Structure 1
Amino acid sequence: MRTDPSAAMTLLTRLGFAARGLLYLVIGILVLQTGRTEDPSGALGVVAEGGGRMLLILMIAGFLAYGLWRLSDAAFNIERHSSDGRGMRERIGAAVSGIVHLLLAWQAISLLQGTRSSTGSGGSGAEEGAKTALQLPMGQFALELAGLVLLGVGVAQLVKAWKADFLQHLEPGVARQPWARWIGQGGFAARGLVFLITGGFLVGAGLKERSTEAGGMAEALDWLTSPWDTIVAAGLLLFGLYCLIEARFRVLNDVPVGDLAHKARAKLPI
């Protein structure tokens, strides 16, 4: 019995949604129960430490498939975005998301091989990235631009939460459920606030030319005062739940694996 590669890719992409949801659940639970803050990379280390080798392998497969699905969407518009500016922004966002999740897969592989500590590197990835950027020509401008992009993403996430247009990607029967709406709205709103804060950090790092001003999700949660840290952490937990809803009920257009492979072979100089 032959396996349809497109169907297999779709199944693994759903696994990627679930893996992403697990990371956000860990982030939210850690803050709410212990006050410990982590970003998705740090949460991956926590999962690896407590979940074992098999769970890590499943997450690697999911992140690889999810990342490739998002990159395929950016390149080939498999999710059928509109041809206007909004559609282009969505495809750019898909490309960025794809790269981020491929990096998470790489980090998970490093954990599996024992070449990366499950408790993280001990420093802020955003700070290290800002430090590297400031050493490059136009690095200050690049940091400010990256911060402005994150601010824009944060606003877009808040708008998505307000309009609840994320529901259009779910199966109709689930999309009509009030619980799906409020879980998604809470999750996207919290994520939007985190993007706004981290974007502000990057803009500040660029303006002051100080990498120590940069920070990611963990630093954003640390920056928030009570009760906002708890509220945002609860929202990130809701986002994790929404990712699990997407893993089961999101309408996915198959990645045409066979067609893409055929086109790639046709371009080879053989």
Structure 2
Amino acid sequence: MTKTDRNAAASRFKHAKNLDDVDPQDFAWAVPIMRAGYAGRSLVYLVVAGVSLWSIFKGGEAEGTKSAMQALDGPVGLITIIAIAVGLFAYAVWRLIDSFWDLEAYGTSAKGIIARIGMVVTGVVHAAIGVIAITALGYASSGSQGQKLLSDFMQSTLGSWVVTIAGLLTVATGIYYFYKAISQNYRDHLQANHFTMHWNFLLRAGLAAQGAAVMIIGGLIAYSGLSSNSSGAGGLGTAFDWLKDQAFGNILVILLCIGLLGFALFCMVNAFYRIIPKAADPSVESMAYKVRQLAS
């Protein structure tokens, strides 16, 4: 890569550091892993939101991640769950290698290190969701034993504090999703094209919905830690149950499900159009770069 190319690449990624002497071909192998990971992540939210909306339409209730996957039956359902599991494990691997090789060029500043640690955490979380997908196939035991272990752990002072802190960190993650939706800093990572530039409002709505879901989950986890009651700790299923008990609960659940479909779209757009600074062609323009060009 020439000096001109390096300067061009750096100008397209506002946060990018250390792109000198980087040959995009050296990290081209990471791109398919990233794409598979985001596609798997998209499938999770598509299945959960889609199954939940269908269940509500038929007079039932919204489903959590595991229940939604277990609702898939027949050959198509089996293939879908396998694709989800493979995709989520690919996403976990992607976040780990992204952090280790600093493929998104965050650098080694305090802010960059925090971002890279966050990648590892999200990788571990999505590996756990991949395990849930395998559980839905019937290859693992039910979650009752895990619930009992959590309950026993939360009876101790240390356990209560650990769960409470985990809940507060989850709330902070939800707030960050809202921040991304408001600031639109994700545009620095997405290619500028007709779809991303004209349908950006859907991407923002999807991120905001994910932020709402994660904040509710985190709040319930934190409350469970403070009250030493494990029944409130859970994922999307618990969040749906809590929302349903509120005023206009069913409407809120439906709106959240529709929003999560938007987040599924956001993940799929990332699968197709996400830019990896250390593996990107210097001629590729990000949405943020295009917006700055149009504004100048």
Same fold at TM > 0.5: yes
Q: Following TM superposition, by how much is the alpha carbon of 1:254 offset from its aligned partner in structure 2, in angstroms?
A: 6.7
> What amino acid is aligned across from residue 275 of structure 2 in structure 1?
V
State whether structure 2 residue 173 is matched by structure 1 residue 153.
yes
Give 1:268's aligned residue.
Answer: none
Conservation of the 8 A alpha-carbon contact between 2:37 and 2:94? no
Paired residues of 1:13 and 1:62 also in contact (CA < 8 A): no
Per-residue CA deviation, residues 15-35 of structure 1 (Å, 9 max, x unaligned), is: 221111111011212232222
Larger deviation, residues 225-234 vs 99-108: 99-108
How far did 1:44 drift? 3.6
Question: Residue 188 of structure 1 corresponds to which residue in structure 2?
Answer: 207
Q: Does 1:214 align with 2:238?
A: no
1:99 pairs with one of 115, 124, 132: 124
Residue by residue, what CA displacement relative to the aligned partner does 1:217-263 show, whole Å, maximum 9, x if unpaired?
111122111322111111101100111111111113578xxxxxxxx
Q: 1:73 is matched with which residue? A: 98
CA deviation map 1:150-208 (0-9, x unaligned): 111111111111111112111122585130x2121111111111111111111111111
In the alignment, the residues of structure 2 paired with residue 158 and residue 111 of structure 1 have an alpha-carbon distance, to the nearest angstrom, of 30
Measure, in 1, the Cα distance between the counterparts of 2:125 and 2:31.
19
Q: 1:239 to 1:173 in 2, by over 3 A?
A: same
- Which residue does 1:197 correspond to in 2? 216
Check the 8 A contact 2:170/2:215 in 1, yes or no: yes
Deviations, residues 34-81 of structure 1 (Å, cap 9, x unaligned): 223333344443456562554444444322222111012233322112
Match of 1:37 in 2: 62
CA-CA distance at 1:84 after TM superposition: 4.3
In 2, the alpha carbon distance for the partners of 1:231 and 1:124 equals 33
Taking the aligned partners of 1:171 and 1:194, their CA distance within structure 2 comes to 27
Specify whether residues 51 and 5 from structure 1 end up closer, same or farther in structure 2 by C-alpha distance, changes over 3 A only: farther
SS of equivalent to 1:227: helix
Query: TM-score scaled to structure 1, two decimals?
Result: 0.78
CA offset at residue 143 of structure 1?
0.9
Q: Radius of gyration: which is bigger?
A: 2
Q: Which amino acid aligns with 1:15?
A: A
CA distance in 2 between counterparts of 1:27 and 1:142 reads 28
Q: Secondary structure, in 3 states, of the residue corresponding to 2:186?
A: helix
Alignment match, 2:43: 22
- 8 Å CA contact 1:73–1:94 kept in 2: the answer is yes
Distance across 1 between alignment mates of 2:116 and 2:73: 31
Q: Secondary structure at the match of 2:160?
A: helix
Unaligned runs of 5+ residues in structure 2 are 1-24, 244-248, 280-296
Amino acid in structure 2 at the alignment position of 1:29: G
Superposition pairs for residues 113-132 of structure 1, below 5 Å?
A: 114-116=138-140, 121=142, 130-132=150-152
CA contact (8 A) 1:174 1:249 kept: no
Aligned-pair CA distance for 1:95: 1.0
TM-score by length of 2: 0.72
Answer whether contact 1:202 1:213 (CA < 8 A) is retained. Answer: yes
Q: Please say if residues 181 and 204 of structure 2, whose CA atoms lie closer than 8 Å, have aligned partners that are also in contact.
A: yes
The verdict on how the C-alpha distance between 1:41 and 1:86 changes in structure 2, with shifts beyond 3 A counting, is: farther
Aligned 8 A contact 1:168 1:175 in 2: no
Residues in 1 aligned to 2:238 and 2:100: alpha-carbon distance in whole angstroms? 33
Letter in 1 for 2:117: I
d(CA) in 2 for partners of 1:30, 1:111: 14
> How many equivalent residue pairs?
246
Q: Which amino acid aligns with 2:103?
A: I
From the superposition, tell whether residues 240 and 176 of structure 1 become closer, same or farther in structure 2 (CA, over 3 Å): closer
Partners of 2:198 and 2:145 lie apart in 1 by 38
Per the alignment, residue 259 of structure 1 pairs with: none
